Amino acid sequence: MSDNLKRTIIRFAIIFFGIMAMFIVVICRIVYIQTAEREQWEKLGNAKREASTRVARATRGNIYDEEGRLLASSIPQYRMYMDTRVEALHLGGDTLFWQYVDSMAIGFSQIIGDKTTSEYRRIMVNAFKQKRYALLTKTSISYTQKKAIEQLPLVRRGQYKSGIQFKDLNRRSKPFGSLGSRTIGSIYGESGKGTSGIEKRFDAQLRGKDGVSERQRVAGHWEYVPVKEAENGADIYTTLDVNLMDICESTLRRQLNVNQADWGCVVLMEVKTGEIKAMCNLKLDTEDGKYYETDNNAVKRVEPGSTFKTIALMAAMDDGKIDMEDSIEVWEKGWKYYDAKHTDAHPADTIYSIRNAMAVSSNIALARIVTDGYKGSAKKFVQKLQRMGLTDSVDYVIPGAEQAKILVPKDTVTISRMAYGYSVEMSPLQTVMFYNAIANNGKMVAPMLVKEIRSNGETIKTFETSVVKNSICGSQTLEDIKTCLHDVVWDNNLGTASVYKWKGHIAKYKAQSQLVPIAGKTGTAQVMENGRYYSNKHRMSFVGYFPEDAPQYSCICVIHGPRNKGLYDAGMDCGSVVRHIAEKTMAYTNEYVLQNGNLVFKNK
């Protein structure tokens, strides 16, 4: 082999092994990066990717009433900022900023109108000198205002030349104001998350799914281009009726202003379907003396008072402990059961029939019926209530809605107080659900608040009436209970919701309507605070159904803590609220017409 050939082979070998060594180094470096440094480079890559992307907010779905009227909707609103650190504003001796700062200040003041021109100029100049991020508007601006601002001389060049940026805000508009506000619910600030009512319960469906936009070079300038489209939220169609909501709220508000009560609520429910047509909650603001929708007391547990007597009597009748032919003795000075003394609001030494005992709402009579019937065994009594569906778990749709609390007491005397609505707790919504079952021939249906969920106009889910109990009691018991509820309203001598007499003549009607036959029961309970009952603080209620002969609606009104001590009576106050609601509801649903200021039957 010649010397030249040897030298050539050696050169190629050196080059080959050199290339191989570099290749091995590269491979080792790749392996090292993929293992030891992987997390570090992934963080850097993600940070750069995140810096060039932006969340594309999904539009929150709307909430409608049963007729398709808008109850809650998202309206585009924005907050305006200025980033004075953008490079363009500082090029050429800062000429760009100083050239346009006055025109921007004038434009902002004219379009938004929340500050003067000099105030806007001062905010921008101070931020520019300090090279910082500045909030230009504390209040939100509308979509129309945003588009007008984007046409101003420097702003229209984009945020990387002007520094002007807009931040989307989650704002919900309720076209009917506070009407049913606590039932519809609300969202939390800029997060857009539902915090109460329907907004919270159906937050996942209403919110939709956010998309992603990426910063890209388009036609010579940078823009955010969608790379993943946002999926807008679905729409919720409720069972509520705006007009019936207005009837209920205005009627309740008028009575609360008379009583100056702490709070009040009304629930209007359709008998056959359980659909809630109206739910309003008003609470007194002690600072301005006005009522606002703040707490949803309709779904919170309270001691129901005498409206529970219907339930207690039904249990005793259905268990064969007593029947309508029996009578019960009461005493003016009260009745003592062990160490508990029971008294009546209308004291008398007399013997009541069962009908009369219910009409006059005798505490003594119901306490004796339950204690005698169950021989002091509260467990048997509670078990009967459970079989009637009172403690069944029900989905009330509204977050925070409380289930009934009816426990077997450990002592002997509590059962006597349970008979007339103490030591048991039910929400007004649960109470009206039970009376609705009476009107519905014994079938208890769950309250229904949402009918459909729709996306892009197509129904994706429907909700049907849910049966809690096919029968709450026997047919004869049901007829007897209906008779008792009739007398409460129509017995002009004893009925606590019938009439108010002055000098032997009817002066005012309570729940008794000359247009719509109503049946129901009054309730008055002393309020417990700090572990004791206050004889001067009460919670009044009336719950019933109408028209009595062919029930279409059930309704409850609760008024808590009337401050006008000389003016409160469950039949007069809550009963009259339900009466006015019944008359206006039946007129609205075309059963009656208005003639010369009076409601009359259509067929007359």
In a domain, 2, yes or no: no
Which residue from 523, 524, 511, 514 is spatially nearest to 572, judged by alpha carbons?
A: 511
What residues pair up with 599 in beta bridges, in sequence order? 594
Please, which pLDDT band fits residue 63 given cuts at 50, 70 and 90?
Answer: very high
Average pLDDT over residues 480-507: 94
Domain end point (choices 207, 238, 269): 238
599 burial (CB, 10 Å; 0-12 / 13-18 / 19+) is middle
In a shared domain, residues 331 and 401: yes
Q: Which two tokens stand for residue 81?
A: 């900022």
248 burial (CB, 10 Å; 0-12 / 13-18 / 19+) is buried
Please, which pLDDT band fits residue 211 given cuts at 50, 70 and 90?
Answer: confident
Distance of CA 120 to the CA centre of its chain: 40
387 burial (CB, 10 Å; 0-12 / 13-18 / 19+) is middle
In a domain, 392, yes or no: yes
Q: Which two tokens stand for residue 64?
A: 């409608």
DSSP output for 293-348: ----GGGS-B--GGGGHHHHHHHHHHTTS--TT-EEEE-TT-EEETTEEE--SS--
Write the DSSP symbol of residue 575. Answer: I
In a shared domain, residues 221 and 139: no
483 burial (CB, 10 Å; 0-12 / 13-18 / 19+) is middle
In a domain, 87, yes or no: yes
In a shared domain, residues 69 and 88: no
Judged against a pLDDT cut of 70, whether residue 33 lies above it is answered with no
Judged against a pLDDT cut of 90, whether residue 535 lies above it is answered with no
Q: Which two tokens stand for residue 569?
A: 């009576």
In a domain, 4, yes or no: no
Write the DSSP symbol of residue 57. Answer: P
Judged against a pLDDT cut of 80, whether residue 156 lies above it is answered with yes
In a shared domain, residues 313 and 425: yes
Give 95-119 pLDDT, tens digit per residue.
788 888 899 999 999 999 888 999 9
In a shared domain, residues 320 and 264: yes
What is the number of structural domains in the chain?
Answer: 3
Sort strands 193-196 and 186-188 into parallel, antiparallel or unpaired. antiparallel
In a shared domain, residues 108 and 200: no
Identity of the residue numbered 536: N
Give 241-284 pLDDT, tens digit per residue.
999 999 999 999 999 999 999 999 999 999 999 999 999 999 99
Domain end point (choices 189, 211, 238): 238
Domain end point (choices 146, 170, 194): 170
At 30 the pLDDT is 72
**Which residues fall within 8 angstroms of residue 481, CB to CB, at 6 or more apart?**
310, 313, 314, 317, 438, 473
Please, which pLDDT band fits residue 157 given cuts at 50, 70 and 90?
Answer: confident
Question: In whole angstroms, what is the distance from residue 108 CA to residue 102 CA?
Answer: 10
**Cis peptide bond upstream of 547, omega within 30:** yes
Question: In whole angstroms, what is the distance from residue 582 CA to residue 542 CA?
Answer: 13
In a shared domain, residues 430 and 303: yes
DSSP output for 86-103: -GGGGSTTTHHHHHHHHH
Which residue from 580, 574, 540 is spatially nearest to 560, judged by alpha carbons?
A: 540
In a shared domain, residues 156 and 178: no
- CATH code, domain with 194: 3.90.1310.10
Which residue do the tokens 């009917």 mark?
Answer: 176
How far CA 587 is from CA of 140, 511, 515, 601, in Å, comes to 42, 17, 10, 9
In a shared domain, residues 385 and 250: yes
Average pLDDT over residues 463-473: 96
In a shared domain, residues 495 and 509: yes
At 50 the pLDDT is 46
- CATH code, domain with 485: 3.40.710.10
Question: In whole angstroms, what is the distance from residue 245 CA to residue 276 CA?
Answer: 10
In a shared domain, residues 129 and 69: no
Domain limits for position 399: 242-455+462-601
